[in-house]
Amino acid sequence: MITNAIQQKRKWTIAMAEPCNDDTLAIRLTAGDETALHELYAEYGKRLFAYALRLTNDHAKAEDVVQDVLVTVWRTAYRYRGEGRFIAWLLGIVHHTAMNAIRHTSIAISDAMEDTIASNTLPPENLTQRNMQSEWVKQGLESLDSDHRAVLELVFYQGLSMEEIAKVCQIPLGTVKSRLSYARQKLKGILIRQNAEEWR
Amino acid sequence: MKTHTEYEEMLPFYAAGGCTSQQKREMEAHINLCHECQTELTMWKAVSMEIDTSNKTISTPSDIPAQALTRIRASKPMAAAIRQSWQLLKAQTYLIQSELWPVSALVMLIGVLVAVIARKDVVVYLLSPMMAAATLSMLYGPDHDPANELTRSTATSPWKILLARMSIMSCYNLLLGLIASLGLLFIVKPEMLGTIILGWVGPLAFLSSLALLLSVWWGTGIAIAVTYGLWLAQYISFKSIGILMPSPVWSNFLTEYKNFWHEPLLLVGLAFFVALAALWSANLPMLRLSSSIQ
């Protein structure tokens, strides 16, 4: 099942990477073509919204972010010069806008809150193996702060390379690696704790 | 040979299906031998699936583009028009042949040096309009614009693109002419500066707009040949071609022709109408067709 999902996503990633009318779309936006904005949203709206939602964790806030992003894209489309993928450029704007939006409202999840999350999980006997796996991953992702969630989203859903992630998040390559490493440690820690709960 | 840490860093990208075939082969060889990476791969695949699953349930609000456009339209029309024009100018600056900028500056620099060394300010008068005509004739069309096909397929009218490029290049040419004139202060008195500038500004405006019009219709080569021919024709000397006593009609015509190049107001006025013709021509379907066939 996991393999199928990955294969399906790979096909989708390849399809998205095929040359499309991104350059034309940017030129049309620069020229003030309103239908180009609708086309952009039809093409990339879901991915932009998913990333905004992943960063903000709030549906209404994610809507505001995407709306701001569209306004920004409309005003700055001339800056896109075809260097790199259009989606990476768009996600960079989403990242910047979302980070500005959550800067003052973000609450980092502490270890104490993490323990609460772990203790609130359903008893293992009520969960199938598949559900249990999904549950700990969900807990693990929720325990990460928006910076780390962002990197995971960009790797697994948006299909970006390490260099593209660095550009989107405006961080050095080393920081991308360290965020992935931190996410791995955190997820492994929760997985181990979860396994210990099952054995108890 | 990669280290375990490097494989560990690559593992999420492998799990996401984002590795090259070479990386994939290396990764698979390592995973077969490394129990730790096998465990981590299972974890990353589970993370990948969870992220996919949670994103599948997302319903994207359909009215976001409409709301964004309402906000965009609500901004002041004048401010929006200025912003759009500025964006168009910036976008077109990158599409003008990059060689034109340094080459025309270099030619003007050489011109000023020659003028100063030879103590002949006429060099700048001669050179400024010729340089401007050459650069304006290389602004548009498939020979000079790698993005020509793309540009033509967009909603921006060809005349707007041409106007943007003409404005950018004309400002640059004027700036070069002014700098070159300032360079002449080594050999002329400061009070002569105004006369020198008035001397070349009219011919520069007329010749460059004529070169633009001709290049839109017949291409760069013809545009340069015709404009240079018209400009240099004022220096035709009957003695040098063996005619000692030209007819009075010819003589009068040549005198008038030379005077024509010293009428800045008339030349700028003519340049305006020729530039309008060039912009109008850019939208003609037959010219669009012929330029894409070239």
Model confidence over A33-42: pLDDT tens digits? Answer: 889 999 999 9
Judge if B125 and B194 occupy the same domain. Answer: yes
> Number of structural domains, chain B?
2
Of A28, A30, A37, the CB nearest to B65: A37
B77 touches chain A (CB under 8 A): no
What is the distance in angstroms between the Cα of B143 and the nearest Cα belonging to chain A?
20
What pLDDT is attached to residue B113?
93
What pLDDT is attached to residue B103?
92
Considering just the CA atoms, what is the radius of gyration of chain B in Å? Answer: 31
With respect to residue B141, please indicate whether it lies within any of the assigned structural domains.
Answer: yes
Chain B residues with beta carbon closer than 8 angstroms to that of A24: 150, 153-154
pLDDT digits (tens, 9 = 90+) for A130-170: 566 677 777 788 888 888 888 998 998 888 988 999 988 88
A38 touches chain B (CB under 8 A): yes
Which residue range(s) make up the domain with A40? 1-106
- Flag whether pLDDT at A20 surpasses 80: no
With respect to residue A32, please indicate whether it lies within any of the assigned structural domains.
Answer: yes
With respect to residue B65, please indicate whether it lies within any of the assigned structural domains.
Answer: no
Q: What is the DSSP string of chain A?
A: -HHHHHHHHHHHHHHHHS--SHHHHHHHHHTT-HHHHHHHHHHHHHHHHHHHHHHH--HHHHHHHHHHHHHHHHHHGGG--SSS-HHHHHHHHHHHHHHHHHTTT--PPPHHHHHHHHHTSPPGGGS-HHHHHHHHHHHHHHHS-HHHHHHHHHHHTS---HHHHHHHHT--HHHHHHHHHHHHHHHHHHHHHHHHHHH-
Which segment of A173-177, A190-194, B151-155, B195-199 scores lowest on mean pLDDT? B151-155
Which parts of chain B sit beneath pLDDT 50? 288-294
With respect to residue B75, please indicate whether it lies within any of the assigned structural domains.
Answer: no
With respect to residue B259, please indicate whether it lies within any of the assigned structural domains.
Answer: yes
With respect to residue B70, please indicate whether it lies within any of the assigned structural domains.
Answer: no
Take residue B210 and report the two structure tokens written for it. Answer: 């004529």
With respect to residue A142, please indicate whether it lies within any of the assigned structural domains.
Answer: no
- Flag whether pLDDT at A124 surpasses 60: no
Judge if B143 and B22 occupy the same domain. Answer: no
What pLDDT is attached to residue A189?
82
Q: Does residue A24 contact residue B150 with C-beta atoms inside 8 Å?
A: yes
What pLDDT is attached to residue B224?
93
Which residue range(s) make up the domain with B24? 4-55
Of A2, A10, A141, the CB nearest to B45: A2
With respect to residue B66, please indicate whether it lies within any of the assigned structural domains.
Answer: no
With respect to residue A168, please indicate whether it lies within any of the assigned structural domains.
Answer: no
Of A7, A27, A180, the CB nearest to B154: A27
With respect to residue B69, please indicate whether it lies within any of the assigned structural domains.
Answer: no
Geometric angle at alpha carbon B8, from B5 and B13, rounded to 5°: 140
Closest CA to B108 of B242, B241, B200: B200
With respect to residue A188, please indicate whether it lies within any of the assigned structural domains.
Answer: no
Test A155 with B64 for CB contact under 8 angstroms. no
- The CATH number of the domain holding residue A1 is 1.10.1740.10
Test A159 with B16 for CB contact under 8 angstroms. yes
With respect to residue A132, please indicate whether it lies within any of the assigned structural domains.
Answer: no
Judge if B217 and B131 occupy the same domain. Answer: yes
Residues 128-167 of B with CB under 8 A from A: 150-151, 153-156, 160
Judge if B15 and B161 occupy the same domain. Answer: no
What pLDDT is attached to residue B285?
61
- Flag whether pLDDT at A90 surpasses 90: yes
Geometric angle at alpha carbon B122, from B275 and B208, rounded to 5°: 10
Q: In terms of pLDDT, which residue wins out, A49 or A20? A: A49
> Number of structural domains, chain A?
1
What pLDDT is attached to residue B148?
57
Tell me phi and psi for residue B154, to 5 degrees: -95, 170
